[in-house]
């Protein structure tokens, strides 16, 4: 019996030792796993913070690029729609004064409406292009990248971003043609003596805009980027590796511009842009001090009326506010638009995510 009891005690001790050892090993394993999880979470957090910082920095670059491009856009518009030469002629009191006024009417409205369209297009196009480039640059500089091949080498970036010249060139020319036709259709027969309230002016702008967007043979995205494959190849200047990368970027951009999200964002910018234009024009329709007419509220939109001949110079000067390189309310509201920001984030997210994680 004593021997049997001793054996039982030995077995109990061995079981206890085994249990303690197992618990110890499990504890060590748990500590190691917990440390691995902490390190992985810390790495992911750092990567996410770095990605967010890069994204925000990229958006500031977008804003500065838009502002730096506005003088070139303004010059391109004014070159094709030169109202200044007409106003100079009018000062000389020519015999065909009425004819010149009629030309000035069409050109003034055309260039201001074109300025709204093209500035909105510039804002959204650069958001797409620079966030595609920004996403690829993030991947090119990522820690632990599996290949040394750059997705966006400097030469490719330069070639790709030069495609913005379509908006300042052929795209702008086509846009001017379409807008001018709509302006002529809406205002061609309107007398210079006819008076409009702010509300009536806003209605005229809305009608012209509706005709532009309804009668355009192409989607608005065509004005931003050439859609012909041969033109894209020409823009890429050949068939080197860099040129093939450039064509790939241009095709990815075209896909983005043809997406429903892009159409929604561009429309939101246009709505905001034309609304801000009307806000700017409202400053010229305020009743004089001491006038009993309402100065605010719905009735104020019809309280003051001006002859078209006085509205034309007001409209004509709006391009200086719309295409201002110093941040104006017009440009600032486009750059800070929530839908533009969200769209930019989605583009960046798409192109800064490794392909293996997208599958």
pLDDT of residue 359: 47
Closest CA to 172 of 232, 103, 104, 222: 222
Higher pLDDT, 359 or 96: 96
In this structure, what DSSP letter does residue 288 have? P
pLDDT of residue 217: 63
Q: Is 122 helix (H, G, I), strand (E, B) or coil?
A: helix
As a whole number, mean pLDDT of residues 50-75 equals 87
Strand pairing partners for 306? 196
Tell me the pLDDT band of 140, cut-offs 50, 70 and 90: confident
Higher pLDDT, 194 or 154: 194
Q: What is the pLDDT of residues 340-356, one digit of tens each?
A: 999 999 999 999 887 65
pLDDT of residue 151: 82
Tokens describing residue 128: 């797409």
Report the half-sphere exposure of 168 (CA within 13 A, side-chain side).
Answer: 16
Query: Is pLDDT above 90 for 75?
Result: yes
Closest CA to 253 of 155, 165, 127: 127
Largest CA distance in the chain: 138
Q: Distance between CA 305 and CA 324 in Å, rounded?
A: 28
Domain ranges of the chain: 61-285+302-354
Q: Where are the alpha helices (DSSP H) in the chain?
A: 2-80, 84-91, 97-140, 154-161, 165-168, 170-187, 198-215, 229-236, 241-257, 260-282, 308-316, 319-322, 329-335, 338-351, 355-358
CB 277 within 8 A of CB 202: no
Query: Is pLDDT above 70 for 242?
Result: yes
pLDDT of residue 4: 47
> CA 62 → CA 27, 65, 172, distances in Å?
52, 5, 21
Query: Is pLDDT above 60 for 209?
Result: yes
What is the pTM assigned to this prediction?
0.83
Spatial CB neighbours of 54, under 8 Å, sequence gap ≥ 6: 134, 137, 138, 352
As a whole number, mean pLDDT of residues 136-150 equals 73
pLDDT of residue 226: 80
């Amino acid at each position: 019996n004593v021997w049997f009891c001793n054996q039982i005690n030995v077995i109990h001790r061995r079981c206890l030792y085994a249990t303690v050892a197992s618990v110890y090993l499990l504890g060590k394993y748990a500590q190691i796993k917990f440390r691995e999880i902490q390190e992985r979470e810390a790495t992911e957090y750092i990567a996410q913070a770095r990605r967010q910082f890069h994204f925000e920095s990229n958006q500031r670059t977008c804003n500065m690029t838009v502002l730096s491009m506005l003088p070139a856009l303004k010059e391109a518009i004014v070159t094709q729609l030169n109202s200044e030469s007409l106003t100079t002629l009018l000062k000389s009191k020519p015999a065909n004064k009425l004819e010149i006024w009629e030309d000035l009417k069409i050109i003034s409205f055309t260039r201001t409406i074109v300025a709204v369209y093209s500035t909105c297009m510039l804002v959204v196009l650069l958001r797409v292009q620079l966030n595609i480039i920004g996403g690829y640059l993030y991947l090119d500089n990522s820690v632990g990248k599996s290949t040394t091949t750059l997705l966006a080498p400097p030469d490719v970036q330069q070639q790709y971003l030069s495609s913005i010249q379509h908006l300042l060139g052929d795209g702008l020319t086509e846009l001017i043609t379409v807008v001018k036709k709509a302006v002529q259709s809406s205002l061609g027969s309107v007398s210079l003596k006819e008076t409009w309230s702010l509300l009536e002016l806003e209605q005229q702008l809305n009608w012209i805009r509706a005709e532009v967007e309804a009668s355009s043979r192409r989607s608005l995205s065509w004005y931003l980027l050439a859609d012909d494959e041969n033109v894209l190849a020409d823009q890429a200047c050949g068939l080197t590796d860099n040129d093939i990368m450039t064509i790939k970027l241009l095709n990815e951009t075209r896909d983005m511009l043809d997406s429903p999200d892009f159409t929604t964002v561009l429309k939101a910018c246009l709505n905001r842009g034309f609304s801000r234009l009307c806000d700017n024009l409202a400053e010229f329709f305020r009743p004089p001090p001491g006038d009993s007419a309402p100065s605010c509220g719905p009735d104020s939109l019809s309280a003051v009326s001006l002859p078209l001949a006085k509205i034309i110079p007001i409209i004509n000067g709006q391009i200086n506010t719309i295409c201002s390189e110093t941040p104006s309310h017009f440009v600032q509201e486009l750059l800070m638009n929530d839908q533009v920001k969200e769209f930019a984030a989605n583009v960046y997210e798409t192109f800064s995510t490794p392909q293996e994680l997208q599958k």
